[in-house]
Every structure is written in C-alpha cells, then in structure tokens.
Amino acid sequence: TKEPSLFIHPVRGFSLPLPAGVAVSHRGKELHVAVRSPKGYVMNLQTGDSNPLVPLTGMQGRLESHYLNEQRGPWLRKLADGTTVVAGLPAIDAIYQGHRTKTRVIIARGGRTDFVFTFTAPLDLYDEHVQIFNWVLINFVPGEGERPAQAPVADATGTKTSKTPVNVPVRAGDHVASMAAGRPEPGPMAAPPPDMKRFVEPGYGFLMDYPKQWTVSKPT
C-alpha cells in the first residue's frame, strides 16, 4: 500500500489500520492478516472464535510451548509479561527475544473473537518500528458485540504502550459504544472534519472517520 489504509474484516467486522509502504496478505478462511514492511518488521493478526473456557494465559502458554525454547525455538527467552487493554478488550502482552529478533505478542479477548497480534523486528530496529505497532493497536476497532459492557482495567504491572507516532482519529461509532455500555443513545454526530472521510456501512456495527488519503479495503 502506497498510502495508509484501513482493512475491514468482512466476517469479524473489525477494522485494522495499515501503515504506508507495506505488503498485506490474507490467509485461510479466517482471512488472517499478514503485514510485511520493507523496513524489516512483520505484523500479523490471527483471529478465532472466543473460547472463555481457555483463559488468555492458557492461550499464551500454548504459544510458548511451540515457540519459546532455548535450543530449537525462535524465542529464546521472555523479556516482559503483563496485562493490558486493547480497544476496550482485556488482553495480555508479552515480549520475547530470539536469536536476532524481538517479538511482541498481544492476545485480546472479545465477546465473539479471540485476537492474537504479533510484531517481529530485528533487535537493532525493534525500538524504532514498534511505534508503528503501537499506532495500529491504538487505532484498532473491534467488531460489533466484542467489547464488554464494563471496560477492563489493565494491571499496573503490565507492559506499557508507547505514545502513538501519528494522531489519527479512528473511533467506534457512538451508537455502538453507548449500547455496549448501557447508556442512552447520543444525539446526532457532527460532520467529519474537512480532511477526513467517514466510513458508514450497515452490517459492520460501527462508523469511523479516517484521512481522505487512506483507502478502505473490504475483502470478499
């Protein structure tokens, strides 16, 4: 993508902002999102039906059993571990160091979907490019029915998210947010700023404003 774009999942209904200059592919029936940048970093978002019988720490343990191994795994050791909140969803956040790379893994639970975000970059480039991953997380919007009625609170010991490098106003629609929180529906929304467009489409359960130079992608 030459310009920043917005990926809208055709089934799960979530929106994922994508930085400029990356190659994006979608894999499998779930349309898992794979993002590769010529700058050296890789991001992935995998989704599946939410399973409350398996805690987030259990999902993390399964990943670590496959990838965290000093002898043969891509992850040599865990550098950080904690709880966080992503777009109003409870999540756990961990960072792992490999032979030449560092990987951050965030597992978030929605009402209908479990989300697994991963970001991997070379050790010497990680701190620079993880800011893009933070920007993606801050502007990620889950689909309808994902957010809990009561917003979770991140553990004070959890890993901290850096400030977003770009101020992009992407938000859930007021109607959906009010329904989730049990509040009365607000009045009519103001028109978007002159330099923004508004995404509104029945069936997705949300609306958002995004820069005019972005393109919206809705795979079928």
The two structure tokens encoding residue 208: 């958002």
Cβ–Cβ under 8 Å, residues 144 and 206:
yes
Residue 202 has pLDDT above 50, yes or no: no
Whole-angstrom distance, CA of residue 12 vs CA of residue 19? 21
Whole-angstrom distance, CA of residue 107 vs CA of residue 90? 9
Place of tokens 């209904």: 13
The two structure tokens encoding residue 159: 């890993």
Selection from 85-94, 148-157, 174-183, 199-208 with the highest mean pLDDT:
85-94
Question: Can you give the pLDDT at residue 212?
Answer: 57
Whole-angstrom distance, CA of residue 85 vs CA of residue 92? 8
pLDDT, tens only, 17-59: 999 999 998 877 878 999 999 999 999 999 999 999 999 999 9
Whole-angstrom distance, CA of residue 109 vs CA of residue 51? 9
Whole-angstrom distance, CA of residue 42 vs CA of residue 37? 6
Q: In the chain, what are the domains? A: 5-168 (3.40.1000.10)
- Stated as kind and residue range, the H or E segment containing 66 is helix 56-67
Phi, psi of 36 (to 5 degrees): -125, 130
Place of tokens 């010529």: 38
pLDDT, tens only, 105-143: 999 999 999 999 999 999 999 999 999 999 999 999 999
Neighbours of 175 (CB within 10 A): 14
pLDDT, tens only, 70-79: 777 789 999 9
Does pTM top 0.85 for this prediction? no
Percent of the residues in the chain that have a pLDDT greater than 70, as a whole number: 67
